[in-house]
Homo-oligomer: A and B are copies of this chain.
Amino acid sequence: MLDLCQCGHCQNDMCIHKVPIFSTLNEEELIKIAGLITHRNYKKGEIIIMEGEATDSIIIIHEGSVKAFKNTPDGREQILYVFSDGDFFGEQNLLSHQTSTYTVEALEIVKTCMLSKNKFQSLLHQYPEIAIKIIEELGERMSRLENALQSIGVRNVDNRIGGILLDFKDKYGRKTPEGILIRLPLSREGMANYLGIARETLSRKLGQLENEGIIRSVGNKSILILDQEELKALSGNVF
């Protein structure tokens, strides 16, 4: 995003610059909001919000990535979202009296910005555009959840794996001469928990895709996409 700020006080790395929900505001308004924000950092593995807990702030990620998950009755974890720079969470608690519907855990060192319930609510009344931006963002998240739910209706596991790789490509991919290199935010186990399948099944399927020349594993934390079209076909995404 273009940085319009020329003043001495305003840091260029202010988190609000990164956050889509504030994107309709001008620099002056942003500076005002920046003053309302508090910061906090987390180490890898630290819990930021616990499922069922009430929070009193909306939390915006300034840097790093987190996973949001639920613990299933049988002791596994089902990952619902992976949030990174500019994403927010905790908004449910501010508007309704809901407690958090998921646990949020840092996947690496994470810097967050927090805006307290009261400040955020008055902001919403002052700038309806922020509310509209939030509705838009929630709409996108719902759309992603809906797709996830659909791909489960399709019992085919390959389908889901194709989907997650394409998702990660958009968010974490980098073009290289050989193909698009994805720096994975999750381990194999994490990805399996995202897809709702067993770790071993994921390994096998990824191995298969590698044999077919569609992808290549690069260490444990990266995957190179060699044939994006084939992946799209696999994911059943006809659009």
Contacts and interface: CB of A to CB of B under 8 A. Distances in A.
Interface of A: 52, 70, 72-74, 76-78, 80, 91-92, 95-96, 98, 101-102, 124-125, 128, 131-132, 134-136, 138-143, 145-156, 159, 193, 196, 236, 238-239
A146 B102 contact: yes
A96 B140 CA distance: 9
Contacts of A154: 72-74, 76, 78
Nearest to A159: B73
A142 B145 contact: yes
Contact of A124 (B70, B132, B159): B132
Q: Is the interface of A mostly helix, strand, loop or mixed?
A: helix
Those 7 A-B pairs whose CB atoms lie nearest each other, nearest first: A73-B236, A78-B153, A131-B131, A153-B196, A145-B145, A128-B128, A70-B150
Contacts of A142: 101, 138, 141-142, 145
Given A101-B143, A124-B128, A154-B74, A96 B149 contact: no
21 contacts: A70-B147, A70-B150, A72-B151, A73-B159, A74-B154, A80-B149, A95-B132, A96-B139, A98-B140, A101-B147, A124-B131, A125-B128, A134-B135, A135-B135, A135-B138, A138-B139, A148-B149, A149-B196, A152-B196, A153-B193, A153-B196
Contacts of A72: 150-151, 153-154, 236
Copies of this protein in the assembly total 2
Given A95-B139, A124-B131, A156 B74 contact: yes
Contacts of A152: 78, 149, 152, 196
A187 to B, nearest CB: 16
Contacts of A238: 73
A239 B51 CA distance: 11
Contacts of A95: 132, 135-136, 139
Contacts of A131: 124, 128, 131-132, 135
A21 to B, nearest CB: 11
Contacts of A139: 91-92, 95-96, 98, 138
A139 to B, nearest CB: 5
